[in-house]
Homo-oligomer: A and B are copies of this chain.
Amino acid sequence: MKRISILGSTGSIGLSTLQVIREHPEEFKVIGLGAGRNVEEILRQIEEFNPLIVSMATRDLAEEVKSRTTRNVRITYGKEGLIEVATHADADFVVSAMLGFAGLMPTIEAIKAGKDIGLANKETLVSAGHIIMDLVKQKQVRLLPIDSEHSAIFQAIQGERRSDIARIILTASGGALRHLKREELPKVSLKEALKHPNWKMGAKITIDSATMMNKALELIEAHWLFSLPFSHIDVIIHYESIIHSMVEFIDGAVIAQLGTPDMKVPIQYALSYPGRLSLSTERLSLEKIGKLHFMEMDFQRFPVMKLAYQVGNAKGTYPTAFNAANEVLVDLALQERLPIYMIEAGIEHVIQQHQSYADPDLEQILEADAIAREVAKNWAEQQTI
């Protein structure tokens, strides 16, 4: 039996993880839950999964949860509380599904504590890839991707030699605004940008899909996860999101992982790896779908994709700043304080201003992140909307 802590249990990935665990009570047991502010949901989760430890965003929220449950569960809060969930002695697997850069520290602590990681938080590897990968090696834990694209690649390379990989090909749906030309973007409302054509996901990642920033972060994440130079990672537009990603080998053979868009599949694969378990998910019927479409990535239409290759190759704290700027600007966009179409320009501005540390340590990464956020915020405030 795998004993699991979930960081971000009330978010979209957290809920799907609990659905997977619900299907396999004989395989998986919940040890800890790291939640944010959703008291009603965490109370339901405590009732159903009977965890040993729960962490909330604040002391007040923790008190409220404590007063409303009869279960014998430790309730804690804040950054320390989250780390306690991530490192609990009874857990052997941690699902890192927090939003953004906030997932970095608890993930690092979980690795240090020798836990295997199911990584849904792509910002962790984007911001501190070399530190994470060194730690993973040093602690000999498993770092298993939960993103559908990286899980697809990971599934495609099972039984293969790493040296036989020629390149990996990430697929991108193009997001909610793919039908629009660049000059049409200024008229786009937040609501439109939140309508992802294929996947039902959280708001932040849906906006990231509309700007192609999601794929940009995945590019950098793939570079770290699979130890490949950026020249060996391509991105292709694939409207239907049925082929989740592909690997081309040195003999020209391409292995792809396909399926209906359902995050439960990559989540469960990380939990059941190296085997699989049955799962109640809609079966793929290519007969019903009929056609799959593919298009070259358009770097003019999606400038952050071009920028992702640049910051990835530039290394240092460039990727950290790239991600930090995006987090701030998407947050403002979700509050309707910045139009969606200005996110790209804001990220470009932050990268132009950025003073990178070469081979940064964790402290320098945290500093670069903080500065980039400040620069992004100031830039956004100066824009006349």
Contacts and interface: CB of A to CB of B under 8 A. Distances in A.
Interface in A271-305: 272, 274-279, 281-284, 286-287, 289-296
Nearest to A256: B256
Interface in A240-285: 243, 246, 248-260, 262, 265, 268-269, 272, 274-279, 281-284
A164 interface: yes
Nearest to A296: B287
Contact of A279 (B161, B252, B272, B291): B252
A159 interface: yes
B274 A251 contact: no
B287 A236 contact: yes
A274 B283 CA distance: 30
B257 A252 contact: no
Contacts of A281: 251-252
A171 to B, nearest CB: 9
Given A164-B275, A250-B278, A255 B287 contact: no
Contacts of A253: 155, 257-259, 265, 269, 276
A178 to B, nearest CB: 15
A231 interface: no
A160 interface: yes
B274 A159 contact: yes
A158 interface: yes
A275 B67 CA distance: 59
A156 interface: yes
A274 B155 CA distance: 17
Given A159-B159, A287-B295, A291-B293, A258 B246 contact: yes
A23 B106 CA distance: 51
Given A257-B254, A277-B250, A292 B291 contact: yes
A361 B258 CA distance: 42
A256 B279 CA distance: 19
B283 A294 contact: no
A252 B259 contact: yes
A295 B284 contact: no
B284 A294 contact: no
Contacts of A254: 257-259, 284
A249 B262 CA distance: 15
A144 to B, nearest CB: 14
Interface string A96-134: 000000000000000000000000000000000000000
Contacts of A265: 251-253
Contacts of A256: 243, 255-258
Contacts of A293: 290-291
Given A252-B281, A254-B259, A159 B158 contact: yes
Contacts of A276: 160-161, 164, 249-251, 253
B236 A251 contact: no
Interface of A: 155-161, 164, 169, 236, 238, 243, 246, 248-260, 262, 265, 268-269, 272, 274-279, 281-284, 286-287, 289-296
The 3 closest A-B pairs by CB, nearest first: A159-B159, A158-B159, A286-B294
16 contacts: A155-B253, A158-B160, A159-B274, A161-B275, A164-B276, A246-B258, A248-B283, A250-B278, A251-B269, A251-B272, A252-B282, A254-B259, A286-B294, A291-B291, A291-B293, A292-B292
